[in-house]
Every structure is written in structure tokens, then in C-alpha cells.
Amino acid sequence: MPDGSMSFRLTILGTSSALPTSDRYPTAHVLNVHERLFLIDCGEGTQMQMRRYRIRFGKINHIFISHLHGDHFFGLYPLLSSFNLMGRKTPLHLYAPAPVEDLVSRHLSDFDIHLGFGLEIHTLGSRDCTLILNDKRVEVFSFPLRHRIPSCGFLFREKRAERNIIPGMIGKHGLTIAEIALLKRGNDIVREDGEVVSFETVTVPPPEPVSYAFCSDTAWFKELPEYVRGVDLLYHEATFGDDNEELAVKTAHSTARHAATVARDAGAKKLLIGHFSARYKSVDILEKEAREVFSATEAAREGTAYIIG
């Protein structure tokens, strides 16, 4: 399955809302960015789903938790224990709203767990859009959602790669390593004898960077599309259908139609909905209602990998 061309790949591990069903686990997503894995939310059973769908534990160094409701968090404690039992040494970064640090340290002390690896906890504010991780390949932002407790969405934006040298051009022009580096960054080379090597003739542009946004849990609010403008794949919770719109508003959740409105207003390329209430045995109706507003909608399926871009 792994393929070098699939730079952004999302695997859905859970599509249920707070009450799991016999065939739906609570929320957890794994985003693969150039073979580095980011775990987003960690509902009960996440590590079992990771094993089922062959997610490599050792490649996860960053976990993002949207909010501290159990269906997004209960899977974290057993996952930390398993990392420990597996002899993990690599530091793990955990991003979540307050009071995550208190909860985790209390749990570790209550159960006498001594982690053999560093756990770096980054407490998220929930007021503004904030850059929370910036590495070579990707930038991650958190942004505020509207829920009953502080809740954050996450935006993963691939960085633009350098240009690629056209095969055969290195030999043809006798390019040095220093010249290649300049050309890949879009600079022309002027040699001592006056010869010009134009970057446009020996390189091609890299693929367009891709992006993924995660919005769960949240009520609909008008500023949300701005945070996820132009995203390639938008995941948005759709706990309810039109039949339960009042309940959605009351519990600070969204309907499928709300989710589709956000995708449409943000100019997203594709929408994935999830966090389905247990009352919907089949989620076809939710998919249908969303498609009435935004046709490029799909109901998330557990174990399915979605290629982004």
C-alpha cells in the first residue's frame, strides 16, 4: 500500500459519536505525511483499530486532541501504556486543550505508570488560529471550534517542495551540487564564462502542496469557513441529520447539512463527514443531505485510506 507519490494519506479509525456501536468506533484519524504519522483524536479502542489497520506505532510522534470529551480522549491512556510496554524511547508530543496536563499526570500517578520516554504536553489555547507545529514538510495550525467545552480544529498544510531537476539535465549541463541546490530553489546560474543555465529549462515545478482540516466537535458558526479556506480535504463532524437539527444546536454539534455548508463556503475540494450518532444505523441519509449542499461529500468509513491531493 505505501507509495511514494501518496504524500498525504488519511486513515479513518473511528466514525462514531459519543456512544460507540458494534461497528463504529469513536473518533480517531491517522494522517500520513511523507511516512510520518499524526494521530488526531484518540477515542476508546484507538490502539486496537491501529493494529487492525496496520498503523505503525513507532511512526507516531505527535498526537492532537481536539477536546477533552471521552469519545476523543479515552483511548489515550491505554495507548501511552502500550508505547511504554513496547519500549518506546522517542519523545511523544501531545497537543490538547487544558487541563490535559493535569489529567495525564494524575492518571500516570494513579496507575503507577513510569514512562520510559519523554511526554511533551503542549496545551492549546482556543481563541485564535495558531501555528502549533512547523517542520520540514508540514505546518499544523489549531483553530477554535464552538462546543460545550473548549474545542480545537486542526489544519495540516504541506510545505511547498523544491523544484525537481529534469532527468538527464545534470549530465547535459555538468551541474554541480551547489548549482543543483540553487536551481531547485528557482535561481538561474551564471557561470564564470558567461554561460547561463536557466532554472526553467532544467527543472519542473513540484506538485501543488496539499492540505487537510479536521473539525470535530462543533456547532455551526459563521467564521469557521475562514479557518479552512481552500482546503483539499475537509473532515467535519455530522452527528445528526435534518431530523435532529434542534438537538444538534442544543448539544453544540452539527448536522450533515451544516458540515456541507462549511465545505461549500470554505471552497473545500472534498468533504468527509463522521462522528455519527448511534441512532443512524445507516448513514446514507446524512450523506444524501450533505450532498444536496456540497456534492463532493463522502461519509467516512472505518479502515478506509483517503489520498489527499
Question: What residues are labeled active site?
Answer: 71
Q: Distance between CA atoms of 190 and 193, rounded to whole angstroms?
A: 8
Q: Applying CB under 5 A, which of residues 44, 158, 179, 217 lies at the interface with Zn ion? A: 217
Nearer to Zn ion, 65 or 308 (CB): 65
The secondary element (H helix, E strand) that includes residue 202 is helix 199-202
Identify which range of 61-69, 121-129, 220-228, 288-296 contacts Zn ion by CB under 5 A: 61-69
For Zn ion, which is the closer residue by CB, 158 or 217? 217
Entry field: residues in the chain: 309
Stretch of 64-72, 96-104, 191-199, 223-231 contacting Zn ion, by CB under 5 A: 64-72
Rule CB under 5 A: say whether 24 interacts with Zn ion.
Answer: no
Q: Report the alpha-carbon distance of residue 279 to residue 21 in Å, rounded.
A: 9
Q: How far apart are CA 212 and CA 64, in angstroms?
A: 14
The number of residues that bind Zn ion (CB under 5 A) is 3
Q: Does 41 bind Zn ion (CB under 5 A)?
A: no
At closest approach, how far in Å is the CB of 17 from Zn ion?
Answer: 5
Residue 232 burial (CB count, 10 A):
19
Q: Residue 193: exposed, middle, or buried by beta-carbon count in 10 A (0-12, 13-18, 19+)?
A: exposed
- 69 contacts Zn ion (rule: CB under 5 A): yes
Give which of 169, 139, 168 is closest to 154, Cα–Cα.
139
| Window of 6-14, 62-70, 83-91, 112-120 that interacts with Zn ion by CB under 5 A | 62-70
Cis peptide before 99 (omega within 30 of 0): yes
Contact 49, 302 (CB under 8 A): yes
Shortest CB 27 distance to Zn ion, Å = 6
* 44 lines the binding site for Zn ion (CB under 5 A): no
- Residue 71, interface with Zn ion (CB under 5 A)? yes
Establish if 302 lies at the interface with Zn ion (CB under 5 A): no
Residue closer to Zn ion by CB (options 217, 287) is: 217
The residues that touch Zn ion, with contacts defined as CB under 5 A, are 69, 71, 217
